[in-house]
Structure 1
Amino acid sequence: MSDSEARFHVLRQSAGRRASAVIEAMVLSGSDIELNRINVIEFSSAHSLELDESLDAFLHAAKLGLFDMSWNLLCPGCGGVLSANTSINDIHQHDYPCAICAAGYEPTLDGMVEVTFTVSPRVRQIAAHTPDALPMWDYMQQVYWSSGIQFPPGVPMRELMEKIVVDWMELPAGEKATMSLQLPEGFFIVFDPVTHAAQFLDVQGEPTRERQEVGIVFNAVQAPTGTMKMRPGPLRLTLENRTDARVLPAIYLAGDELHHMLGQRKKFLTARDLLTNQTFRDLFRTDTLEVDQRLKITSLTFVFTDLKASTELYERVGDLVAYDLVRAHFGVLNEVVRRESGAVVKTIGDAVMASFPTPDRGIAAVLGMREAMQALNASRKSEDLLLKIGIHEGPCLAVTLNDRLDYFGQTVNVAARVQGLAVSRAIFATEPIVKHPAVAAMLSAAGLTPVPQRCNLRGIADELTVYQIP
């Protein structure tokens, strides 16, 4: 048995067999492009698998060394990969500039950072492992645009690009070359996907017969994108590569064809989705943020739970029995959180803090928690365990506290304070939760009508509307 076969054998034991079998078959017979920067959401849909099942299998495969994870910062404007990173540690808080869009973007883990999986070169060599050897359009598709753009199926990339590219070249390290062409009226972008350098050419006005000269130097310093006013007519473009790798400059017509292509986006697995996944937190405990690293998430759902009167419980049934009950309660909650694509952030005494990617996942979890606790009590023919639950959604910062991935901000504070309002089996939820369309539909289907009340939460200046879900 080869090393790869042994690893796949372990994968089948540790992850879902269906997803593991599909992944193994793809590694053995899939095309190179299928094995580069795999979009797990697209993979799941294509193979009729549940997303959680596929993600669980890819995470185990990455842990076994079968795949490498990449945390890619995607430009919100053009979908290009502004930075590809092997770890979340490599993502910085500063703005990431996009030369094509002439803008800078502060990274958000749920809007800009995709997580993809590429087969390890130890398992199978694919063309993307040596990107400097990829043909021009393969480089654009597989390296620059990654999995964020939906290209028309069955249309070769070269054929697609010929509609928007006036001319292009491959320029080796240290070399200089020229392009001579006739520029029509329009707005053009001279762009190199390797150095991420760009120059805008605004061509308008009366045509000229005089040759216009433009020179562009590619080096390690990315200068702000500038715009040159030009007239329709002959152009000699001089390009100089002062880097130690080849560059791939091309002249793009910034017209309807380009804008349409860049507007076709695919849903991708975000860093937020990964950080709120229990399998990731279990397998990659050390892959956390640096101590001084704080990254934004624009929307995350938090659930806080606590056992009512747990002190009296220890007094009433004794330490050993109470300890076993509390452990059983943690086991039940962990199972529900994992089932709803969430993750337990931490436990504090008898309390649990959990995160979920969306409000509907969070509300499904809290309803499931309540049912599970009722079942646990019924199995013991007692009402010893009563869970107090609070849920809230909003922006936050992902941070590292006590060597563990954690979250910080007012959203977390509000979620904790809302849980403190609970005194019975009723769930307390904030307005952003109950007004979420998927949550509203879920509660309506369950015959649950949230009851609003105005509350002052400790440490929160403004009065809030909080809903009690009976």
Structure 2
Amino acid sequence: MQKLHDRTWTWELPAPPAALWPYLSDTARFNEAAGTPRYAVEEITQPDGSVRRRATASYKGVAVEWDDPPFEWVFEREFRQMRIFQRGPLQSLGPALKLEAGPDGGSRVTYRLGGTPRGFLGHLLFATGLLDKIGKGLEEMVRQAASFAAGQADMPFLYTPPEPAPEQRERLASLTRQIAAGSYHHNLADRLAGHIATAQEVDLIRIRPRRLARDWQVPVRHVAELCLEATRLGLLGLSWNLLCPRCGGAKATAATLDQLPQQAHCPSCNIAYDGNFTSNIEISFRPAPAIRSIGEGEFCMGGPHVSRHILVQQILQPGEQRRIVVTLPAGEYRLRTLEPGGECVIMHDGGAFPTMIAEDAATPDFTMRAATGDTIGGLVLHNLSSRKLTFVIESRAWRSDALTAHEVTTLQAFRDLLPAQVLREGEDVGIDSITLMFTDLEGSTALYERLGDAAAYRLVRRHFSFLAESIREHDGALIKTIGDAVMAAFATPEQAVRAALEIRDRIGAFNRDYLAELAAEGQAAEAAPELAIGLKMGLHGGRCIAVTLNERLDYFGSTVNMAARLQGRSRRGEVVLSAPLAADPAVAPLLDGRKLNHESAELKGFEKPVPFVRLTA
């Protein structure tokens, strides 16, 4: 057996562990900045249901192949991995990082790198200081990350982007000017161009508007609209990703919704799963190849940063018990393994974290359970099964960076800019929660009689524009018009109710402006007040399905029917909300101080009387 060669470095840094962890644990970003080449990965399902990752790459003309096992980590404290090589000058190589609180609020960073050689070339590499050379680069990059965490640098690691060809530079500049001249730039066009030109490839492989909005500290809708416009013009390419519900990886992708499969298989987790607009179908973007070419392959596919919702991941041998020092905040957690098997969800109160126990079951799988914990600030893992298992503790409160298909398809900009993005004819996709608003004009027939067809039609179109403006500003989309009525959709209840309240509160100003124009045009002043429009609105939220109808995305189901029926119960100037919608925790505060009547009525298509809330003032 070859001797293990290892080196350990320790650095005292001014940034605390929590500030350093996001960058030192981002192994893909670290490797790219260090100049490590990409590698290809094949995921091979084993007889016991586990997954073997076989990686291949070429380093300075030397072909290498290795097993890429799961990382082990405890968030904000440590990580480690050991690659086992089947081909190349090494038998093994792996890092181990440890973060500890240092003096004066800083950190003590300990980085250990160990490996074993294979053949003459491998021994030569270690004999000539391979680990020491790597260590010099590690120290420089760790200090760069510390400078960034302390606010003293613009990026975590020094990185030189590839020099663009002259035609790429000109295309980028031209398309940026076009975006800036349009309606969806939000003064972010130059910022997007700079990101595309200078960011690391790990940031461009999958541009996620929600993550970018958080980094730029701007509204998500602004970044989403910017990216949609950039896609329409050809600056960005679009991708729909069907995310695995366990690991979050994009295991099926497509450029259009009608090409995205309804089901996928995740080789990493060895499970099949369905797509859902609300939970695991996301939209992402990447630079168009004519602007900046992004390479294929991985810089690192298993590091802690890839699965930030996983706070603890540890590999335990059969019968092994392990105690870990960690303090997990109160909240909801899922206890599971990387391997297919049992799982359980717990509510942690912030005290002693439950002991996590895996044990054999009557079936080929195993069970997972939680027992009473005995130590605050500690965690016990116990593998009572007969197989090696990778224990996982993931936060259920962690909010994904994904902008879901449900959210983006309820943006007006999506429907305006990419109208061809629809589902296959005859296909439907489930949506767990959507809020729908129906509006209608009161007395529109009388308007046509008083104004004439042409003038009344112009008024109706103007009121559509008025509605669309408020709907868009509250992150909704106008789905369709039905005569003088409007159907709009929103991803969340509060967005819909805010839009309805704003429309109701602004309708007076809309009418005043319109009547002033009538007077200026010489219309009879005494008849003008009778020409003011009145709106009736109904709102309800719940499950539904998305379909393609008349070559556009539409919604069907009892939630749609309920919202439409509630609009029918509304009178001029009123907003009618279903009782569950009015009671929603995010909606109830919006209704404080307003005059509400609680009623119920029999509605067509529903067996029992339906309770609702009528907002009259």
> Shorter-chain-normalised TM-score: which range?
0.7 to 0.9
| Aligned-partner Cα distance in 1 for 2:200–2:365 | 40
Q: Does 1:372 align with 2:506?
A: yes
- % identical equivalent positions: 31
Matched, 1:254 2:390: yes
Once the 2 structures are TM-superposed, how far is the Cα of residue 60 of structure 1 from its aligned partner? 0.8
- Counterpart among 563, 577, 586 of residue 429 in structure 1: 577
Distance 1:186 1:263, change over 3 A: farther
- Structure 1's 55 and 141: CA in aligned 2 closer, same or farther, altered over 3 A? farther
| C-alpha deviation, 1:20, in angstroms | 1.3
1:139 is displaced (CA, Å) by 3.5
Q: Which amino acid aligns with 1:34?
A: D
Q: Is the 8 A contact 2:598 2:614 kept in 1?
A: yes
Distance 1:204 1:433, change over 3 A: closer
Q: 2:426, 2:597 → 1: CA distance?
A: 41
Match of residue 420 from structure 1 = 568
Query: How many pairs align?
Result: 384
User: How far is the alpha carbon of 1:53 from its aligned partner?
Assistant: 1.2
Change beyond 3 A, Cα 1:19–1:151: farther
Provide closer, same or farther for how the CA distance between residues 264 and 428 of structure 1 changes in structure 2, counting only shifts above 3 A. Answer: closer
Comparing 356-365 with 31-40, greater Cα deviation is found at 31-40
Structure number with greater CO (CA < 8 Å, separation at least 6) is 1
CA deviation digits over 1:133-152, x for unaligned, max 9? Answer: x34xx23469xx97x74589
SS in 2 for 1:254: strand
Conserved in 2, the CA contact under 8 Å of 1:293 and 1:399? yes
- 1:325 aligns to what? 459
Q: Distance in 2 between matches of 1:71 and 1:46?
A: 22
Task: Name the SS of the counterpart of 1:77 in structure 2.
Answer: coil
Paired with 1:454 and 1:321, the residues of 2 have a C-alpha distance of: 38
Tell me the equivalent position of 1:40: 209
2:237 alignment partner, SS class: strand
CA offsets per residue over residues 172-226 of structure 1, 9 Å max, x none? xxxxxxxxxxx55469xxxxxxxxx9788x9989xxxxxxxxxxxxxxxxxxx97
**TM-score normalised according to structure 2 size:** 0.57
Q: 1:185 to 1:65 in 2, by over 3 A?
A: farther
Counterpart residue number, 1:23? 192
- CA distance change for structure 1 residues 165 and 13 in 2, over 3 Å: closer, same or farther? farther
Is 1:61 aligned with 2:223? Answer: no
Once residues 204 and 460 of structure 1 are traced to their aligned partners in structure 2, the CA distance between those partners, rounded to angstroms, is 48
Looking at structure 1, the residues matched to 340 and 565 of structure 2 have their Cα atoms a distance apart, in angstroms, of 52
CA distance in 1, matches of 2:189, 2:286: 15
1:251-330 paired onto structure 2 within 5 Å: 253-255=389-391, 258-260=392-394, 265-330=399-464
Structure 1 residues 114-140: Cα deviation after superposition (integer angstroms, max 9, x where no partner):
21112222211233xx12xx34xx234
| Contact 2:270–2:340 (Cα < 8 Å) also in 1 | no
> Structure 1 residues 60, 150: closer, same or farther in 2, change over 3 A?
farther
Q: Contact 2:271–2:340 (CA<8 Å) still a contact in 1?
A: no
Pair 52,260 (structure 1): closer, same or farther in 2 beyond 3 Å: closer
Structure number having the greater strand percentage: 2
Q: Judging changes above 3 Å, is the alpha-carbon distance between structure 1 residues 265 and 351 closer, same or farther for their aligned structure 2 residues?
A: closer
Deviation at 1:335, TM superposition (A): 0.7
Alpha-carbon offset, residue 17 of structure 1: 4.8
- Quickly say closer, same or farther: Cα 1:326–1:199, change in 2 above 3 A: closer
Task: Tell whether the 8 Å contact from 1:391 to 1:415 is kept in structure 2 after alignment.
Answer: yes
Determine the structure 2 residue equivalent to 1:109: 277
CA contact (8 A) 1:73 1:84 kept: yes
TM-score (norm 1): 0.74
| Deviation, structure 1 residue 312 | 1.1
Q: Could you say if the C-alpha distance between residues 341 and 204 of structure 1 is closer, same or farther in structure 2, counting changes exceeding 3 Å?
A: closer
- Write the mapping of 1:57-206 to structure 2, written as runs, cut at 5 A: 57-93=226-262, 95-98=263-266, 103-127=271-295, 130-131=296-297, 134-135=298-299, 138-140=300-302, 149-150=308-309, 164=314, 185=319
* Structure 2 residue aligned with 1:409: 557
Write the distance in 2 (CA, Å) between the matches of 1:348 and 1:337: 17
Rounded Cα–Cα distance in structure 1 between residues aligned with 2:542 and 2:480: 19
CA contact (8 A) 1:377 1:385 kept: yes
Amino acid corresponding to residue 301 of structure 2 in structure 1:
Y
Q: Distance in 1 between matches of 2:310 and 2:291?
A: 28
Q: 1:387 to 1:121 in 2, by over 3 A?
A: same
Q: Which residue of 1 aligns with 2:497?
A: 363
AA aligned to 2:390 is: A
Counterpart residue identity of residue 310, structure 1: S
Could you tell me whether the CA contact under 8 Å between 2:315 and 2:390 is conserved in 1? no
* Contiguous gaps of at least 5 residues in structure 1: 153-159, 167-182, 188-196, 206-224, 233-250
**1-structure distance, mates of 2:580, 2:444:** 30
Q: Is the 8 A contact 1:360 1:438 kept in 2?
A: yes
Q: Say whether the 8 Å CA contact 2:242–2:252 is kept in structure 1.
A: yes
Q: CA deviation at 1:300?
A: 0.6
1:49 aligned residue: 218
The amino acid of 1:422's aligned partner reads S
Q: Which residue number corresponds to residue 465 of structure 1?
A: 611
Tell me what 1:175 maps to.
Answer: none
2:187 is aligned with what amino acid? R
After TM superposition, give the deviation of residue 84 of structure 1 in Å.
Answer: 2.2
Q: Please give the residue correspondences for 1:377-388 in structure 2 after superposition, counting only pairs within 5 Å.
A: 377-379=511-513, 380=515, 382-383=529-530, 384-388=532-536
Is contact 2:276–2:429 with CA below 8 Å preserved after alignment? yes
Residue aligned with 1:424, SS: coil
AA aligned to 2:240 is: W
1:213-224 matched pairs, under 5 angstroms? none
Does the 8 Å CA contact 1:396/1:407 hold for their aligned counterparts? yes
1:271–1:418 distance in 2 versus 1, CA, 3 Å: same
